[in-house]
Homo-oligomer: A and B are copies of this chain.
Amino acid sequence: MSIKKNVDLATSPKSIVQKKLEELGMKFCEEIDRGVFPTVQMRSRSISNIFYSPKYRQYILGKSKVTRSSRNIAHLRPFAQMVWTAYFVHELLKQKKTSTLRDVYYSAQAYDIFFKDQSESDDIITDLETVIEHPRESFNVFPEERSAVFGDLTIEYTVPGYEGRRMNLSSHPDGVMIGPALTDARFVKTSADKVIVVEKGAMFTRFVEEKVYERFNAILIYTAGQAPRSTRYFIRRLNRELGFPVYIFSDADPWGMHIAMVIISGSANAAHLRELTTPDAKWAGVWASDIINYKLPSEKLSEIDVKRLRELRNDPRYKDRHWQKQIDIFMKIKKKCELEAFSRYGLTHIVDRYLPERLKELGA
């Protein structure tokens, strides 16, 4: 069956949303021009205004509305935060980029807008959804995704029903899930020459959108935290069968370090196995020294972090000089930071500056 194109739900909301955001900005500007404090109205999300609708068969908001006024001292801060968020997602839409909730939280700092914690920024995004009356996916704010691969690599399936069928791993821009079929696939053709592994879904999507695979001839892997074993196996295959160097990017803290280390040297739990490590893979960042050199926003190490670092210091897998040095720096500066921290310098900073510098430094 062929699908008629009378409704195109996939993209039309985006242009509507874009327009609504612009109108909102215009309204505020005009109000200020007139010497009137800008206000915005939205449906109240308080418990007393949530009703079950038998017609829609879901919970809906009632008629009660709330007004946010920039005249009201208590509203001023969230009002400004919402205007910024509107501005930020409008930029995302204009540039056809996506983001995650966590990314939004970090990005705010670049604009001198501060959120107490991520739950505050999540709340503001929910406010904006309420004002615009579209879900945040319509303004390109997505939740995190799970372990996946992306890049110019044609594979050939060996699973039943797919024998001989081929697929290029750049064919699905969300990333191709690493599952049984992919693990068992043959590698056929590629123009890439390296593998870049990232721990966080947000960075993976960022790298895809910024065409890291083209600009650096890379196959991208997203581990979703500690890499699942099938993913570690897949990384090893890329390294062994194709001879590609592997660069791993993870959070700058003992746990992030260890995500890289487990890909490189495996875990004690899997000591009886040989097929899950990639000894030549490199931990490419974020290093403790990067926190200083790139002036990244950071948090204090917790007691548990410090305890973990002490353990790692005595772990034979960490005996190499570079690892030891990074552990020493962590202990000295008593700070840690996440991959997304680069967003403080703009979304593309990590790709435009950090990545090329680091790859060059590592001789890639």
Residue of B148, B165, B230, B272 touching A129 (CB-CB under 8 A): B272
Contact with B along A273-290 (1 / 0, CB 8 A): 111110100000000000
A165 to B170, CA, bound (A): 11
A178 to B177, CA, bound (A): 10
A50 proximity list for chain B (CB < 8 A): 268, 271
Which chain B residue lies CB-closest to A134? B275
* Contact status B179-A129, CB under 8 Å: no
Secondary structure of the A contact surface, majority rule: loop
A147 proximity list for chain B (CB < 8 A): 145-146
A167 within 8 A of B: yes
A176 to B173, CA, bound (A): 10
**Which of A18-26, A235-243, A329-337 is the contact stretch?**
A235-243
**Which A residues from 58 to 110 make CB contacts under 8 A with B?**
58-61, 96, 98
Shortest CB distance A182–B (Å): 5
**Which of A3-11, A298-306, A352-360 is the contact stretch?**
A3-11
A129 proximity list for chain B (CB < 8 A): 272-273
A11 to B265, CA, bound (A): 24
A56 to B276, CA, bound (A): 12
A265 to B172, CA, bound (A): 30
Which chain B residue lies CB-closest to A233? B137
Interface residues of A, count at CB 8 A: 96
A209 proximity list for chain B (CB < 8 A): 160
A45-B279 contact, Cβ under 8 Å, with A167-B171, A174-B182:
no
* Contact status A57-B264, CB under 8 Å: yes
A84 to B275, CA, bound (A): 25
Give the oligomeric copy count: 2
* Contact status B317-A58, CB under 8 Å: yes
* Contact status B175-A135, CB under 8 Å: no
A326 within 8 A of B: no
Q: Which of A140, A173, A230 lies at the interface centre, i.e. has the most chain B CB atoms within 10 A of its CB?
A: A173
* Contact status B10-A56, CB under 8 Å: no
Which chain B residue lies CB-closest to A186? B10
Shortest CB distance A313–B (Å): 14
Which chain B residue lies CB-closest to A166? B171
A159 within 8 A of B: yes
Residue of B142, B175, B211 touching A161 (CB-CB under 8 A): B211
Which chain B residue lies CB-closest to A6? B241
**Which A residues from 164 to 201 make CB contacts under 8 A with B?**
165, 167, 171-191
Shortest CB distance A123–B (Å): 11
A191 proximity list for chain B (CB < 8 A): 1
A325 within 8 A of B: no
A237-B176 contact, Cβ under 8 Å, with A58-B266, A137-B183, A189-B2:
no
Additional pairs, 8, CB under 8 Å, beyond known A61-B272, A133-B274: A2-B188, A3-B188, A7-B240, A10-B237, A58-B266, A130-B272, A167-B172, A171-B171
A–B Cβ pairs within 8 angstroms, 21 of them: A3-B242, A5-B186, A9-B240, A10-B187, A11-B184, A13-B275, A45-B271, A50-B268, A57-B317, A58-B279, A59-B271, A61-B272, A126-B272, A135-B233, A137-B230, A140-B180, A142-B183, A148-B177, A159-B173, A160-B209, A172-B172
